[in-house]
Amino acid sequence: MDTSSPTQKKKPNELTSTLTTDYISGFDLISIEGYRQDGRKPDELRHFRVSFNVVSDADGSCYMEHGNCKLLATIYGPYEGESRSNQEQAVITCDFSMTSYCVSERRLRTFGDMKSQKLQMAIQRVFQQAVNTETYPKSQIDIHLKILQSDGNDYCPCVNATTLAFINAGIPMKDFVCSSTVGYIQNKCIIDLNQQEEQQKSPQLTLTLMPQRNDIVALTCESRVHHDIYNDMLDAATSANLQLFHLMKQAVINQLKTALHV
Amino acid sequence: MIDDTRRLNSFLRKTRRGHVLKITHELYLRTDIPCGSNACQQCTIDESTLLDKHMNNGNSLVSTGHYLLVDTNVVLQQVDLLEDPLFTNVIVPQIVLDEVRHKSLAIYKRIRSVISIPERKFFVFINEFNKNTFVLRKPGESPNDRNDRAIRKISQFYNEHLKQQIPIVLLTDDIANRDLARQEGLLAFSLKEYVTTFNRPELLDRLVLKEESFDLEKDIGKRKEIIFPEHVPLSEVQRGIKSGRYLQGTFQASRENYLEANVFVQDSEKYNQLFVQGYRNLNRAVHDDIVAVEVLQEQEWATPFSLVIDDKDDDQGDLVIEQEETGLVVPGVSSKKTASCRIVAIIKRNWRQYCGILQESLPGAKFHLFLPHERRIPKIRIESRQAEELKNSRVMVQIDHWPRLSRYPQGHFIKTLGKLGDKETENEVILAENDILHHEFPEAVLDCLPKLPWTITAEDLATRVDLREFCIVSIDPPGCTDIDDALHCRTLENGNYECGVHIADVTHFVRPNTALDLEARERGTTVYLTDRRIDMLPVLLSGNLCSLRGGEERFAFSVRWEMTPDAKIVQTQFHKSIIKSKSAMTYEQAQTIKDDSGINDEIAQSLRRLHSIAAQLRKRRMDKGALVLESSEVRFQLDTETHDPLSVMNKELRETNWLVEEFMLLANISVAEKIYELFPDCACLRKHPAPPISNFDPLVKAADTKGFQIKANTGKELADSLDQAILSAHPYFNTMLRMLATRCMMQAVYFCSGFESDMKNFEHYGLATPIYTHFTSPIRRYSDVLVHRLLAAGINADATFPDLLNKRVLQQICNNLNYRHRMAQYAARASVDLHTHLFFKNMHTDEDGYVFGVRKNALQILLPRYGLETTLFLRDKEGKSVGEFNEEEATQTINNMTIHMFDPVTVQISVDTNNVQRQRIQIHLVKPFIDGFSVSPIIKNKTTLEDIDDTITTPVKRLKVKSSK
C-alpha cells in the first residue's frame, strides 16, 4: 500500500481536519446508482476494436484498441534461430516498447526500464506455454509490441493483441490467451479497469486465461486480498475473460470472412 | 447495454511540479437508462421506478399531475424546503448531484438522505451517460451554461419520452435558465413562484432569501450605506497566499466580545495566531470560517479588550455602527499590543444551523433579528411571517449570505424546537449546538440487527473459546445497562494467576460497511447527558445482545494474562470467547463482598486476587509518573417522573473503581502493543501529547502564592510535586491544584500510526505509557470497534475487508471520532450546566467556596459541593467596577480587603433570569463581608441531602471523561 508518509507531512490540514464527512468526500468510482465514472456498469468491458494485417512485412500483425489503450502487435517468424536456440522447440522473444507520447506525461526513455523488462519476460513466458512451440524446432519467433497510447494496465492488452497477432500469423496455439484485470472497489468487483480506476489503491488482480481449456496461465495480485473476497474477484476475472474471448473470436471470424469474401 | 456511442473527454491539467498533462477520459453513452416513471411504456419497471403515474399535490400553478425537475441552485440553496414532505415526484438529475457534491458535501448528504427514502419519490436520473440527454459543451460555452442546457435537455427528453402525458416542471432560481427554458416551450418556475401557491406561510419562511431581493430594497429608496469592505476575489487570494501577502487561517470569534476574534494561522512561521478587532476588520467572517487575512502594519496593531464583557442585547440593528466601532478601539487595561490583521476574504464558510430565539421587534415587521444561543455567532436577520407564534420558542436558523450593505448576515427560518425554558427544548438545543446526531436509527440500520430470539450456533462454539465455566464478573455503576467489560482471575497450577478482561464482542454484530456500521461511525460515541443517553448503537445491541449481563451467555473478546503474584506478566493471549457472567455487580456491592471476610466464595476470592494485582499495577504506574488529576464530577439525583434535578452529589470513588480501571488500562495497553506489532502502518491508537511547559504557567503561579514549587518538566516531576503540595489547614487545596493541572493538559486524540513517523509521539502523557489505545468499550465508542476489528483480523479470528488497511480512511475516521468526542464532552458539560440552573432556579442559598482564579475584573469561585465554577463580577450596584487587581500576586483588593487565590469565601447563589436565552448562575459575596459590595447572608439555610435519599438515582456513567483516562 502507499508509503508516502513524507508527503503527508507537508499537508497538516489532512491530519487536523475535523470535517466529519471527510471519508466520503472525493468521488465515488461507482455511483450509488451503480454506474462507473465512464458510464459503464461494474461488469462491462471497455470499447474493443481490432484490425489485422496492418504491417504487411510482418508475418502476423494486429492493431488493437481497448478503451483508450492503442497498441500494435507484430509477429516475425518462425525463422531459423541462432545457434544457441533450442533444438526441441521454438524460442519466443518479446520486445516491448512504448512511444514517448503514450502516457499523459511525456517521458524520454521509454524502453529498457524495469517495467518493460518485466512485461517482456511475462509475455514471453505466457506464449512459450500457449504456442505449440514443438512444431518449430530450432527456430525463433519474435513478438514486437508497441504501445501508442496507454490506459492503465499495459500487460492485458499486450497479451490479447499478441494472441490475435499469432492467429493472424497462422502459428498454431493451444487456445486463445485472454487477460483482464479486476478491481475490488466499494465492496464490488469491477472488471476491466481503466487508468483512473487503476490508480486507486484498492485490491487488484490480473488473470490470464486460456478460456476454452479453462486453464489459468498467469495470475498476479500485488495487493493484499483477503481470501473471502479473493474468490469473488477470481470469478469476476474469469467472466471478464470470457466476454473478452467472445469479442476476440468474433474479430477473428470477421477477419476470416472478409479475407475469404464470404 | 453499452451503445456504440463512445465519447472522449480530453482536458489539460497542470501538475504540482508544473508539467502539463493531457488527460483523456472515455464516456460511454447508453440507451438502457430507465426514466423512473410508472407511466412509461418503454422502460423496464422495477422497485427503483419511483415516480407516480398519477400525482397531485394540490398546486394551483400546475393543476394536473406533474413531475418536478430541480436545478442545482435550488438544491444548493433551498434544500431545507426540499426536505419538506410536500415535495414528491422529483427528478434529480445526476449532473445536479455532481455539482452539489462538488460545492457542498453537507448539502449533498442531505439531498442523498431524502433520495434514499422511497416514499419521498425522489428519482435520480442518470443524464450524463444517457445517449438521449447527453449534451456536448459548445466552443465558448461556460461549464455552467452547458449544465443548464443539460438540465433543459432532460426536461425535453421527458416530455418526448412520456409523450406529453405528464408535464415536467423545471424549478430553477436562475433567471437566465428559466427564460431560456420558457423560450424553448418548457414549464419553468422559480421555487418561490411554485411554493407561494400552496398557501403555507411556514414554507415561505424556510425559503432562502436571495441577494437580489436586497438590491431591490435599496432601489425602493431605503438608503443604505456600504458597511463592509469588499472581499478580494478568490483567484487573487490564492495568488496572495502564495506570495505571502495574505495568510490563511481559521476564524475563531471571541466569546466575550463580539467585536474581537482570533485567527489561527496555518503554515506560517511568523504568526501562530492573529488578532482581529472592529467591524471592518472582521469583515463578515463568522466563527469557524476559513479566512484569508492580511497582517496590519505594526502601528495599527490593536489591544485585546481582555475584560469579561457582559453581552448586552440593546443595540438597534443596522443603525449604530460607526460610533460603536470608534468607541471600541480604545486601549484596554494592559497596553500590550497584539499582532493584528484584517480579513480580506472568506475561503470557506462553515455555516451550520444555529439555535436561538427571535429578538422582539415591532409588530407586523417582516424582518426580525435572531439571537443565536452560541455567543460567537452574530445576530442573524431573517424574514418571517410567524414572528408572533415564535415569540417564546427556540428556533433554528440557517445563514444564507452576508451582503456588504447589511450589518447582520441574512438567514432563513428552519424549524421550531419548542418552548423556551422547557427542559426538552433546552436538551434539544444542547444536542443541536454540539452537533450530536440524535435522530432515531433509520430502517436500514435496524435491518442490520440480528433477529430475536438470538441463539448461539454450533459454528460459533467451534470458533470461540468456551469460558462459560469461568468465574467472570462485571463491576459497573448502579443502573448501568450497557455493560461492556467483565473480569476474572484464577490461580494456575504453577502458582501464577491468570487474569482476564472480557469485552463485549460488538464487531460480531456490527459488520464493516453495513448501514449499522456507517451510522455508528458517524455518531462516534454514545453521549451521556444528565437525564438522557444518546446511544451509538441501537438499544438491542447496546442494552441486550452486547451487554455482558449476569447469568447470560454472551460473546466476548478476551485478553488473558498469565501473571506472577507480584503482577509481572508472563504471557498474554487474545481470543474470542463465549462467557457467562456470574454476577453483574455495582462498585458498592463488589466493595462489600471484597471487604467482608465472612464471604469466601469464588467471586470474593477472585475479587481479592484482582484487587491485589490491581494495587500493584497501580503503584507501578504511579511510580512511572502517571498523573492523578481531578475534575469536578457531580451527579444529580433526578426526580423519577419529571427528571428534574433534586440534589447534587459528588461522585464517590471506591477501591473497586480503580480496580476495574487498572485492568482496563492494562488491556488497552496490551492490545495497543499487539495491534501496533501486527499493523504498524494502520493501527488505531490514542495519544496524549505532553503539554508545552508554558501551559503550566497558571498552575505554577497559583501554587507559588501558597509557597509551593511545581515542577513540570516531566510527567513524573509534575506528579511528585503535586503529591507534595498539601496544606494541612486547607484540605481542598491539593484537589484544586490538581484541577488546575487538568486544565493545563492537551487533548488526547485518536490517530493512525502510519501518519506518525516517530514512536515517541505515541506517548500517553497522562497515563505515562508509551503506547495506548481504546479497546474496552466498543458499545459506546467507535474507536474500540476499529481496534477490535484490527485485532481480530490480526489474530485470524475474523474476516478482513479492504478499508481495514487503508490508513487514509482510518485517519479520517479518527478525525471524526476526535471531533465527536469533543462535542460529546461539551454536550455533557452543557447538560450539567442546564441541570445546575434548574436546580438553583427556585433556590436562593448561601454556599461555601474557594477563590479559584483572579481576573482583572472578576473572581472565579469554585463551589466544591456542586462542582460548579462561577464568576463573581467585581462591580458595585451601579455597575462600576471595584477592586484593585494585582497581577503579580493574583489578588484583588476591595475597600482595603484583599482577596487571595484559594481563599475560602461564602457566596449567595441565585439564577439571573434577565436574559431569557442564557440564564445564568449569579453569585454575590457574603463572606468576607465587604461594605458596599457584599450582601447579607440568608438565615434559612441549605437543603440537606438526607431529605431526598430515597429517590432513585439515574446513573450518569463516566459523565465527564477524566483526562487521565
pLDDT at B118: 82
Nearest to A226 among B105, B126, B799 (CB): B799
User: What number does CATH give the domain B841-927?
Assistant: 2.40.50.140
Give the Cα separation of B675 and B672 in Å (integer).
5
Nearest CA in chain B to A31: B94
Nearest to B812 among A22, A31, A187 (CB): A22
Q: Using the beta-carbon criterion (under 8 Å), do A203 and B802 form an inter-chain contact?
A: yes
Quick one: which of B84, B143, B149, B150 has its CA closest to B111? Answer: B84
CA A135 to chain B, closest CA, distance in angstroms equals 41
The answer to whether A176 touches A249, Cβ cutoff 8 Å, is: yes
CA B515 to chain A, closest CA, distance in angstroms equals 13
Binding-face residues of B in 592-651 toward A, CB within 8 A: none
The answer to whether A202 touches A3, Cβ cutoff 8 Å, is: no
Class of domain B234-309+336-348: mainly beta
Judged against a pLDDT cut of 50, whether residue B204 lies above it is answered with: yes
Q: Which residues of A touch B19 (CB under 8 A)?
A: 105
Binding-face residues of B in 124-163 toward A, CB within 8 A: 124, 126, 128-129
Lowest mean pLDDT among B420-424, B554-558, B675-679: B420-424
Binding-face residues of B in 755-794 toward A, CB within 8 A: 755, 757
Distances (CA, A) of B171 to A55, B168, B875: 58, 9, 58
Nearest CA in chain B to A150: B24
3-class secondary structure, B902: coil
Give the Cα separation of B578 and B553 in Å (integer).
7
pLDDT tens-digit map of B489-502:
999 999 899 999 99
Reported ipTM: 0.84
| Mean of pLDDT over chain B | 81
Q: Which residues of A touch B21 (CB under 8 A)?
A: 104-105
Lowest mean pLDDT among B283-292, B515-524, B821-830, B945-954: B945-954
Q: Which residues of A touch B287 (CB under 8 A)?
A: none
3-state secondary structure chain A: CCCCHHHHHCCHHHHHCCCCCHHHCCCCCECCCCCECCCCCCCCCCCEEEEECCCCCCCEEEEEEECCEEEEEEEEEEEECCCCCCCCCCEEEEEEEECCCCCCCCCCCCCCCHHHHHHHHHHHHHHHHHECHHHCCCEEEEEEEEEEECCCCCHHHHHHHHHHHHHHHCCCECCCCEEEEEEEECCEEEECCCHHHHCCCCCEEEEEEECCCCEEEEEECCCCCCHHHHHHHHHHHHHHHHHHHHHHHHHHHHHHHHHCCC
Judged against a pLDDT cut of 90, whether residue B243 lies above it is answered with: no
What torsion do the CA atoms of B798, B804, B810, B812 make, to the nearest 10 degrees? -110
CA A98 to chain B, closest CA, distance in angstroms equals 17
pLDDT tens-digit map of B126-176:
988 988 888 888 888 888 899 999 999 999 999 888 887 888 889 998 888
Judged against a pLDDT cut of 60, whether residue B9 lies above it is answered with: yes
pLDDT tens-digit map of B211-223:
544 444 444 445 5
Nearest CA in chain A to B681: A3
Indicate the pLDDT class of residue A21, thresholds 50, 70 and 90. Answer: very low
Q: Please give the share of chain B, as a percent, with pLDDT higher than 90.
A: 15
| Mean of pLDDT over chain A | 83
Residue given cell 413562484 in the structure block: B193
Lowest mean pLDDT among A224-228, B47-51, B647-651: B647-651
Peptide bond into A42 cis (omega under 30): no
Q: Which stretch of DSSP H or E encloses residue B99?
A: helix B94-103
Q: What one-character DSSP code corresponds to residue B453? A: S
Judged against a pLDDT cut of 90, whether residue B709 lies above it is answered with: no
What does the block give as the cell for B708?
509551593
User: What number does CATH give the domain B6-198?
Assistant: 3.40.50.1010
Best CATH choice for the domain A48-260 from the list 3.30.230.70, 3.40.50.620, 3.40.190.180, 3.40.47.10? 3.30.230.70
Distances (CA, A) of A116 to A95, A180, B580: 9, 18, 61
Indicate the pLDDT class of residue A23, thresholds 50, 70 and 90. Answer: very low
| Same CATH fold assignment for domains B6-198 and B353-420 | no
Q: What is the DSSP string of B415-442?
A: EEEEETT-HHHHHHHHHHHTT---SPPP
How many CB pairs below 8 Å do chains A and B form together? Answer: 104
Class of domain B353-420: mainly beta
Binding-face residues of B in 503-542 toward A, CB within 8 A: 513, 522
CA B797 to chain A, closest CA, distance in angstroms equals 13
Domain boundaries, chain B: 6-198, 234-309+336-348, 353-420, 443-681+772-822, 841-927
Q: Which residues of A touch B105 (CB under 8 A)?
A: 19, 21, 24-25
Nearest to A40 among B28, B101, B513 (CB): B28
Nearest CA in chain A to B27: A38
Do the bridges between strand B20-30 and strand B67-70 make them parallel or antiparallel, or are there none, so unpaired?
unpaired
Judged against a pLDDT cut of 60, whether residue B711 lies above it is answered with: yes
Judged against a pLDDT cut of 60, whether residue B310 lies above it is answered with: no
Q: Does B25 touch chain A (CB under 8 A)?
A: yes
Sequence-ordered list of residues with C-beta below 8 angstroms from that of A47, at least 6 positions apart, any chain: A65, A66, A67, B2, B4, B6, B26, B28
Mean pLDDT of A230-246: 93
3-class secondary structure, B708: coil
Sign of the torsion angle spanned by Cα atoms A120, A126, A131, A133: positive
Nearest CA in chain B to A37: B27
pLDDT tens-digit map of B850-904:
888 787 777 888 887 777 778 787 776 666 667 777 777 777 787 777 888 888 8
Q: Using the beta-carbon criterion (under 8 Å), do A37 and B25 form an inter-chain contact?
A: yes
What torsion do the CA atoms of B627, B630, B636, B637 make, to the nearest 10 degrees? 70
pLDDT tens-digit map of B435-453:
888 888 888 888 888 887 7
Judged against a pLDDT cut of 60, whether residue A249 lies above it is answered with: yes
Q: Which stretch of DSSP H or E encloses residue B553?
A: strand B553-563
CA B411 to chain A, closest CA, distance in angstroms equals 23
Q: Does B288 touch chain A (CB under 8 A)?
A: no
Sequence-ordered list of residues with C-beta below 8 angstroms from that of B65, at least 6 positions apart, any chain: B52, B54, B55, B56, B89, B166
Per the rule left: phi > 0, alpha: psi between -120 and 50, beta: everything else, B50 is alpha
Give the Cα separation of B187 and B194 in Å (integer).
11
Q: Which residues of A touch B25 (CB under 8 A)?
A: 37-38, 196
Q: Using the beta-carbon criterion (under 8 Å), do B802 and A187 form an inter-chain contact?
A: yes
Nearest CA in chain B to A25: B105
Residue given cell 412520456 in the structure block: B162
pLDDT at B334: 44
Quick one: which of B200, B218, B205 has its CA closest to B367? Answer: B205
Nearest to B19 among A25, A33, A105 (CB): A105
pLDDT tens-digit map of A141-197:
999 999 999 888 899 999 999 999 999 999 999 999 999 999 988 778 999 998 888
The answer to whether B733 touches B725, Cβ cutoff 8 Å, is: yes
Nearest to B805 among A24, A196, A224 (CB): A224
Judged against a pLDDT cut of 90, whether residue B14 lies above it is answered with: no
Judged against a pLDDT cut of 80, whether residue B954 lies above it is answered with: no
Q: Which stretch of DSSP H or E encloses residue B332?
A: none
Q: Does B938 touch chain A (CB under 8 A)?
A: no
Q: Which residues of A touch B106 (CB under 8 A)?
A: 21
Indicate the pLDDT class of residue A89, thresholds 50, 70 and 90. Answer: confident
Indicate the pLDDT class of residue A110, thresholds 50, 70 and 90. Answer: low
The answer to whether B101 touches B108, Cβ cutoff 8 Å, is: yes
Backbone angles phi and psi of B525, in degrees to 5: -160, 155
CA B54 to chain A, closest CA, distance in angstroms equals 25
Nearest to A184 among B802, B807, B812 (CB): B802
pLDDT at B631: 62
Pick from B26, B434, B681 the residue to mutate for testing the A interface (most A CBs within 10 Å).
B26
pLDDT at A132: 93
What does the block give as the cell for A192?
476491466
